[in-house]
Amino acid sequence: MDRQAQAALLFLLGAAVLHVGWTDLHLRYVKAGLRPLLLLSGAVLIATAAATVWYERRHASPADHDHHPEPRVSWLLALPLLALILVAPPALGSYSAVHTGTALQKPFGFPDLPARGPLRLGVGDYAARAVHDDGRHLRDRPLTLTGFVALDRDGTPYLVRMTLNCCAADAQPVKVALTGEIPPVLRPDGWLEVTGTYSPRRTKDPVNDGPIPYLEVTAARPVPPPADPYDDTGSG
C-alpha cells in the first residue's frame, strides 16, 4: 500500500473517530468525559493524512509514477472503519450483568442530599448508600431509580447499571435486588423507572459474594434506554 492509500485510510479512520466522538455513539465505547480526547484524536488523524498527501506531492519525482499497482486487497483494511461508522454496538446488558460480580465499592464519601422530598438516585449511588451508609438519608423517603432488568439464575430480579472506569471493555455491573410490587412480567434488558423505598435487606452476589441491597418497589414503569446507558459513578 503506497502513501496515498495510507493517507486515505488515515483520513477514513480520523473521520470515523470524529463521527463517533461528535455523536452519542461514543457513549457505547467510552465514558462521557473522554469525548474531547476522541475529537482531538480524530482531528490529529485527519491532519496527519493531509500532511502525508502534501508531503508526497511536494517530494514526488516522475520516476515515482512508474510503479506496479498495489494489491487491492489492502483496501479491505477499510472495512472495520466502515463498520465503526455504520454499525453501533449494543450496550452491555443482562447477560454480562448475571455473569459478572457486582462492582460496588465503598466510596470516599457521600454528597449531601436534599433534606426532604423524593429522591432520584443512580443505581450505583443508591447501592453505595444502602450498603456502606446503612441508608441513613434514604429511610422513609420516596426513591426513584432507573436501570435495566436482569434475572439471576434463580429468578431474582435486579435493577442494574453498568459502570465504567474508562471504556466499555472494563464495564462492570452494580445491582439492586427488587422486592415488593414488582411487575408480573419482567423482560431482561428492558429499562424500568422504579419508585420505592429503602430496604435494609441484603443479599450476596452469586458470582463474587459482593453485597447487593434491596429496594422495596411501590411502582415501576417501562422507559426507553437513556442516551448514555453506562454509569461512571457507581463503582466508587
Average pLDDT (143-149) is 96
Evaluate if residue 2 carries a pLDDT over 70: no
What pLDDT was estimated at residue 235?
A: 41
Please give the residue that has the higher pLDDT: either 61 or 125.
Answer: 125
Greatest mean pLDDT range, 92-96, 183-187, 211-215, 227-231? 211-215
Residues 6+ apart with CB under 8 A from 37: none
pLDDT, tens digit (0-9, with 9 covering 90-100), for 202-229: 999 999 999 999 999 999 999 998 877 7
Per-residue pLDDT at 113? 87
What pLDDT score was predicted for residue 110? 87
143, 126 contact by CB (below 8 A): yes
pLDDT recorded at residue 158: 96
Which strand (E) or helix (H) includes residue 38?
A: helix 35-59
Where residue 24 falls among pLDDT bands split at 50, 70, 90? low
Tell me which H or E stretch contains 205. none
Asked whether the predicted pLDDT for residue 13 surpasses 60, the reply is yes
Alpha helices in 63-136 (DSSP H): 79-86, 94-99, 123-132
What residue spans define the domains of the chain?
A: 3-86, 94-231
Average pLDDT for 148-168: 86
Please name which of 220, 146, 218, 216 lies closest in space to residue 183, comparing C-alpha atoms.
220
What is the rounded CA–CA span in Å between residue 230 and residue 232?
6
Specify the CATH architecture of the domain 94-231: Beta Barrel (2.40)
Distance from C-alpha of 122 to C-alpha of 162, rounded to nearest angstrom: 11
> Which helix (H) or strand (E) segment is 151 a member of?
strand 143-151
- Bridge-based pairing of strands 191-204 and 143-151 is antiparallel
Residue 163 has pLDDT above 80, yes or no: yes
Sorting pLDDT into bands at 50, 70 and 90, what band is 84?
A: low
Cβ neighbours, 10 Å, residue 16: 21
CA 44 to chain CA centroid, Å, is 25
- The three cell numbers of residue 109 are 464519601
pLDDT at 234: 42
Under a CB-based contact definition with an 8 Å cutoff, are residues 191 and 148 in contact?
Answer: yes
Query: Which range has highest mean pLDDT (2-11, 105-114, 167-176)?
Result: 105-114
Distance CA 106, CA 117 (A): 26
In this predicted model, which residue has the larger pLDDT, 70 or 236?
Answer: 70
Alpha-carbon span 30 to 232, nearest angstrom: 10
Interval 118-135 mean pLDDT: 93
Average pLDDT of the chain is 80
Nearest one of 224, 157, 153 to 192, comparing CA atoms = 224
